[in-house]
Amino acid sequence: MKRRILIVLVFALVLSPAGPLSAQEKLTADVRTALDSIQPLEAYSYCKTLSSETFAGRLTGHEGYAAAAKWAAAKFKQWGLKPIHRESGYLQPYPSPYVVIDRAEMTLLLEEKPESAEETNVKEVRLEPEKEFLPLLFSDSGDRTGELVFVGWGISAPDLGYDDYAGVDVAGKFVLCFRGTPGRNDRRFEPHDHHRARMKTAKEKGAFGLIYIYDEIVSNPNGDWIEGFMPAEITSKVADWVLKEKDITAAELRKDLGTYKKPLTFPLRAKIHLKVEARPFPQGIGYNIVGYVEGSDAKLRQECLVIGGHFDHNGFHMGLLFPGANDNASGSAAVMEIAEAFSKLKKKPKRSVVFALFGGEEMGLQGSSHFVEHIPPPFSNVDTMFNFDMVGEGDGSGIGYSGDVPELKTIIEEADQHIGTLGRTYPIRGVGVGGSDHAPFYQKGIPVVSFHSNGPHLHYHQTGDTIYRINPDMIADVAKLAFLGAYARASR
Ligand SMILES: [Zn+2]
Average pLDDT over residues 202-210: 98
Name the domain count of the chain: 2
Instruction: For residue 365, report the distance from its CA to the centre of ligand 1, in Å.
Output: 10
User: 460 CA distance to ligand 1 centroid (A)?
Assistant: 9
Residues 240, 290: one domain? no
Does one domain contain both 427 and 467? yes
pLDDT of residue 307: 98
If you average pLDDT over residues 201-217, what whole number do you get? 98
Mean pLDDT, the chain, integer: 94
- CA 303–ligand 1 middle distance (angstroms): 27
The Cα 279–Cα 12 span in angstroms is 66
Residues 265 and 299 in one domain: no
Residue 4 falls within a domain, yes or no? no
Residue 10 lies in a domain: no
> How many A from CA of 185 to the centre of ligand 1?
23
- Taking residues 262-273, what's their average pLDDT? 96
Ligand 1 centroid to residue 350 C-alpha, Å: 31
Tell me the mean pLDDT in the region 226-243. 98
Please say which residue of 262, 281, 300 terminates a domain: 281
How many whole angstroms separate alpha carbon 199 and alpha carbon 4? 64
| The predicted structure's pLDDT at residue 378 | 86
* In the predicted structure, residue 487 carries a pLDDT above the cut 70: yes
**Distance between CA atoms of 328 and 321, rounded to whole angstroms?**
14
CATH code of the domain covering residue 194: 3.50.30.30
- Full residue range of the structural domain in which residue 475 is found: 22-96+284-491
Cα 327 to middle of ligand 1, angstroms? 5
Confidence of residue 1 (pLDDT cuts 50, 70, 90): very low
Confidence of residue 5 (pLDDT cuts 50, 70, 90): very low
Nearest to 43 by CA among 308, 311, 331: 331
Same domain, 91 and 207: no
- Tell me how far the alpha carbon of residue 37 lies from the centroid of ligand 1, in angstroms: 25
Residue 12 confidence (pLDDT)? 44
pLDDT, mean of residues 380-392: 96
The CA 91 to ligand 1 mean position distance, Å, reads: 20
The answer to the question of residue 270 being in a domain is yes
Mean pLDDT score, 358-365: 98
What's the confidence (pLDDT) of residue 25? 65
Same domain (yes/no): 40, 115: no
pLDDT digits (tens, 9 = 90+) for 410-465: 999 999 999 999 999 999 998 877 789 999 999 999 999 999 999 999 999 999 99
**Strand partners of residue 107:** 126, 273
- Choose the final residue of a domain: 263, 281, 299: 281
Q: What is the CATH number of the domain that holds 27?
A: 3.40.630.10
Residue 111 shares a structural domain with residue 64: no
Describe the crossing of helices 472-491 and 407-416 by its angle, rounded to 10 degrees. 130
Residue 305 amino acid letter: L
The 8-class DSSP code of residue 382 comes to: E
- 258, 281, 304: which is the final residue of a domain? 281
Sorting pLDDT into bands at 50, 70 and 90, what band is 120?
confident
Residue 66 CA to ligand 1 center (angstroms) comes to 18
Question: How far away, in angstroms, is 361 Cα from ligand 1 center?
Answer: 7
Q: How far is the CA of 180 from the centre of ligand 1 (A)?
A: 19
pLDDT of 167 reads 94
**428 occurs within a structural domain:** yes
Whether 86 has a pLDDT exceeding 80, the answer reads no
Structural domain includes residue 2: no
Peptide bond into 387 cis (omega under 30): no
Confidence of residue 10 (pLDDT cuts 50, 70, 90): very low
The predicted pLDDT at position 16 comes to: 45
If you measure from the C-alpha of residue 183 to the centroid of ligand 1, how many angstroms do you get, rounded to a whole number?
Answer: 26
Burial of 8 (0-12, 13-18, 19+ CB in 10 A): exposed
Residues 386/405, Cβ–Cβ less than 8 Å: no
Residues 180-192: pLDDT tens digits? 999 877 889 999 9
What is the total residue count of the chain? Answer: 492
Residue 3 located in a structural domain? no
Are both 336 and 410 inside the same structural domain?
A: yes
Q: Are strands 397-402 and 422-428 parallel, antiparallel or unpaired?
A: parallel
Cα of 441 vs centre of ligand 1, distance in Å, is: 16
Burial status of residue 481 (CB atoms within 10 A of its CB: 0-12, 13-18, 19 or more): buried
Going from the Cα of 432 to the center of ligand 1, the distance in angstroms, rounded, reads 15
Residues 61 and 113 both lie in one domain: no
> Residues near 11 by Cβ (< 8 Å), separated by ≥ 6?
none
What does the pLDDT average to over 77-96?
92
Rounded to the nearest whole angstrom, what is the distance from the C-alpha of residue 476 to the centroid of ligand 1?
18
Q: At what angle do helices 40-50 and 472-491 cross, to 10 degrees?
A: 110
| Spacing, Cα 224 to ligand 1 middle (Å) | 19
Distance CA 442, CA 401 (A): 10
Does residue 352 lie in a domain region? yes
Residues 348, 472 within the same domain: yes
CA 435–ligand 1 middle distance (angstroms): 9
Q: 32 CA to middle of ligand 1, Å?
A: 30
Q: Where are the beta strands (DSSP E) in 237-378?
A: 265-281, 285-293, 303-310, 315-317, 320-322, 352-358
Q: What is the pLDDT of residue 117?
A: 72
Residue 7 lies in a domain: no
Higher pLDDT, 86 or 28: 28
Do residue 389 and residue 468 come from a single domain?
Answer: yes
> Within this chain, do residues 415 and 328 fall inside the same structural domain, yes or no?
yes
Distance 436 CA to ligand 1 centre (A): 7
∠ CA 301-290-354, nearest 5°, is 30
124-165 pLDDT, tens digit each: 999 999 999 999 999 999 999 999 999 999 999 999 999 999
- pLDDT tens figures, 316-355: 999 999 999 999 999 999 999 999 999 999 999 999 999 9
In this prediction, residue 214 has a pLDDT band, given cuts at 50, 70 and 90, of very high
How many angstroms separate the CA atoms of 372 and 382, rounded? 9
**CA 209 / ligand 1 centre spacing (Å):** 26
Residue 257 and residue 374 share a domain: no
For residue 382, list its beta bridge partners. Answer: 304
